[in-house]
């Protein structure tokens, strides 16, 4: 995953200049046999035209990306790949490129990227990679999230919203926050890693949004995209649920208040906070050691 992050960051940002990133869909595909269709959308790429050469790469787990083929006037498949298994075509009207992999086998399990060369104003070229599609060759059944909700906690002059999405398969998921104008929120966001309990086979993820307390009446949305479904959760709905739980008496059978459910989430939040604090302490200790060591080294040079 680190290699992927470095790859995307390097390919999409340089000297403060952002290129148009091809968006790929679906986010993931889980199949045990047959053919797989992967789409690469260039509608937001201003540099794209009918003459753009498109490349397709395969990246297996913990390995560097390897190019499968490129499409110019015709398809050219790189060595090591069976040409008959890969079909690629352009849809000029939709500004889209489609890669089809025939007769999938377990060895095809990987993340696939489309890419193109972008020409900078300075005259040099840089390869820009798409958002990627993960192919999982497996007999496992796709599972929609068993539960998804937004929890909230007010602390002094801030409100923290926690979007929790639990028990889904496969693990590939995209979570974003948007405001009332449907504009993506990128500030004060913490995106947790996908995790799986040791005794389970489903995955979960959490994402945090912190806003000023004066924004308490504004509505924010946690949106997630998974192979099984897409859904949007509202912070306004979470406030209504919290109020209902607070006002209901213990004898009211219409509310099922699961303490273990909330304790699990509280423990998870405490763990994240402690982890961040321990990282800060570690950096402070390193800084103090450096301050103690630097004068000694300087005096040694003078001697």
pLDDT in tens, 112-124: 999 999 877 666 7
Q: Give the pair of three-digit tokens for residue 39.
A: 């789409």
Give the predicted TM-score (pTM) of the model. Answer: 0.73
Cα Dmax for the chain: 81
CA 112 to mean position of chain CA atoms = 15
Burial of 26 (0-12, 13-18, 19+ CB in 10 A): middle
| pLDDT lower than 50: segments of the chain | 1-18, 245-264, 266-267, 270-271, 274, 301-303
CA pair distance 240, 262, nearest whole angstrom: 17
Phi and psi at 300, nearest 5°, equal -65, -40
CA pair distance 149, 164, nearest whole angstrom: 6
Q: Is the CB of residue 36 less than 8 Å from the CB of residue 90? A: no
In the prediction, which pLDDT does 193 show?
Answer: 93
CA pair distance 85, 279, nearest whole angstrom: 48
Per the DSSP assignment, residues forming a β-bridge with 164 are 149, 206
Per the DSSP assignment, residues forming a β-bridge with 198 are none
In the prediction, which pLDDT does 244 show?
Answer: 53
In the prediction, which pLDDT does 277 show?
Answer: 53
In the prediction, which pLDDT does 290 show?
Answer: 67
Q: Is 299 helix (H, G, I), strand (E, B) or coil?
A: helix
Phi and psi at 286, nearest 5°, equal -60, -40
In the prediction, which pLDDT does 293 show?
Answer: 67
DSSP β-ladder status, 189-191 and 203-212:
antiparallel
CA pair distance 23, 280, nearest whole angstrom: 36
Question: Number of helices (H) and strands (E), helices first, in the chain?
Answer: 3, 21
Phi and psi at 262, nearest 5°, equal -75, -35
Which residue reads 């926690």 in tokens?
Answer: 162
Q: Give the pair of three-digit tokens for residue 135.
A: 């192919």
Percentage helix, strand, coil for the chain under 3-state DSSP, each rounded to 5: 25, 40, 35
The CB density around residue 170, as the number of other CB atoms within 10 Å, is 21
In the prediction, which pLDDT does 254 show?
Answer: 33
Q: Is the CB of residue 57 less than 8 Å from the CB of residue 7? A: no
Q: Give the pair of three-digit tokens for residue 272.
A: 């994240």
């Amino acid at each position: 995953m680190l290699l992927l992050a470095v790859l995307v960051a390097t390919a999409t940002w340089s000297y403060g200049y952002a290129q148009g990133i091809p968006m790929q869909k679906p986010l993931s595909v889980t199949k045990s046999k047959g053919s797989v269709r992967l789409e690469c959308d260039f509608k937001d790429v201003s540099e794209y035209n009918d003459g753009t050469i498109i490349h397709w790469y395969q990246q297996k787990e913990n390995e560097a990306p390897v190019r499968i083929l490129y499409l110019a006037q015709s398809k050219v498949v790189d060595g090591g790949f069976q040409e008959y298994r890969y079909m690629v075509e352009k849809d000029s009207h939709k500004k889209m490129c489609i890669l089809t992999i025939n007769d999938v086998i377990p060895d095809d399990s990987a993340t696939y990227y489309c890419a193109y060369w972008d020409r900078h104003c300075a005259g040099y070229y840089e390869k820009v990679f798409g958002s990627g599609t993960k192919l999982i060759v497996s007999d496992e059944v796709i599972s929609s999230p068993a539960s998804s909700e937004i929890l909230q906690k007010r602390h002094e002059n801030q409100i923290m919203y926690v979007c929790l999405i639990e028990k889904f398969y496969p693990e590939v998921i995209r979570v974003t926050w948007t405001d009332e104008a449907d504009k993506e929120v990128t500030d004060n966001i913490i995106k947790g890693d996908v995790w799986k309990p040791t005794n389970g086979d489903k995955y979960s993820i959490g994402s945090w949004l912190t806003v000023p307390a004066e924004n308490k009446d504004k509505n924010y949305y946690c949106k997630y995209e998974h192979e099984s479904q897409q859904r949007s959760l509202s912070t306004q709905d979470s406030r209504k649920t919290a109020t209902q739980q607070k006002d209901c008496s213990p004898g009211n059978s219409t509310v099922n208040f699961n303490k273990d459910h909330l304790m699990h989430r509280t423990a998870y939040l405490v763990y994240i906070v402690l982890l961040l604090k321990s990282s800060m302490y570690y950096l402070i200790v390193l800084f103090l050691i450096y301050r103690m060591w630097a004068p000694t080294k300087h005096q040694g040079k003078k001697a």
